[in-house]
Amino acid sequence: MAFPVGYPDEFLIGARPVYPGMAGPFGNPEESASSDGVSDTTAGTYQNKLTKITNVLPAGRYRVGWYAEGSNTADKKRCDMRVRANGIICGLVNVTQEKANEWQPNGGVYQFNLAIDAAVTMDIYWKQFDGGTARIRNVRLEIWRVN
Amino acid sequence: MSVIYEYPNKPQAQDLDAIHAAVAASAMVDKAIEFCRWDEDAAILQVVWADALDAADKTILDGIVG
């Protein structure tokens, strides 16, 4: 990582530069999970693709990030996705395709306050809407502390 | 209460729409299939029914899914 000219050495901690105003819990702790394989369903109700239960995290403000690719085996049909953190919806996507089997990338971020030290459960679900087979792959879930 | 019929060792993508169509066109008495699910990582196909199938219908389903 390039380090700006003029910053004294005391801002360096190990190999990671810490800039003025950046000291603190930013980015730590962080946890993540992924599921690369394809999952298909003809269900019209949400099916679980990936769940991540973190270790107990200290109270603070956290950022949840997610990514997933969705498609449907039929033209003009949907692959719906829902992402939650502790049961709160932090991502809701309805992917409608013009042509079948075109993978569409989707992602988002969400911030929330964790009031007490606690584990966080993150999950992502998917389903078809109005027919066809909904497909999902390359799912990523991550969480890290903001402050 | 849904009943899940699992078929392991399915590493290749399954044509779930075709399973629905085959069930509808079959001689099964109970055709109330709820949905199918296939997972590449687990290599498992699941076929979900509203109620348990009788032996004759299960045999037909096994033949459809292979």
Question: Residue B34 sits in a domain of what CATH number?
Answer: 3.30.1370
Q: What is the pLDDT of residues A6-29, one digit of tens each?
A: 554 544 444 455 556 666 788 899
Nearest C-alpha in A relative to B21 = A132
Output the 3-class SS for A20-69.
Answer: CCCCCCCCCCEEEEEECCCEEECCCCCEEEEEEECCCECCEEEEEEEEEE
B36 at A interface, C-beta within 8 A = yes
Rounded to a whole number of angstroms, the CA Rg of chain B reads 11
A70 at B interface, C-beta within 8 A = no
Cross-chain residue pair A39–B13, CB shorter than 8 Å: no
Q: How far apart are the first and last CA of chain A?
A: 22
A47 at B interface, C-beta within 8 A = yes
Give this complex's ipTM.
0.93
Domain coverage including residue B19:
3-65
Domains in chain B: how many in total? Answer: 1
DSSP state of A11: G
Could you give the 3-state DSSP secondary structure of residue A112?
strand
A97 versus B61: which is more confidently predicted? B61
- In CATH terms, A29-145 corresponds, of 3.40.50.10490, 1.20.1250.20, 3.40.50.2300, 2.60.120.760, to 2.60.120.760
- Backbone phi and psi for residue A125, each to the nearest 5 degrees, phi listed first: -125, 160
Q: Where are the domains of chain A?
A: 29-145
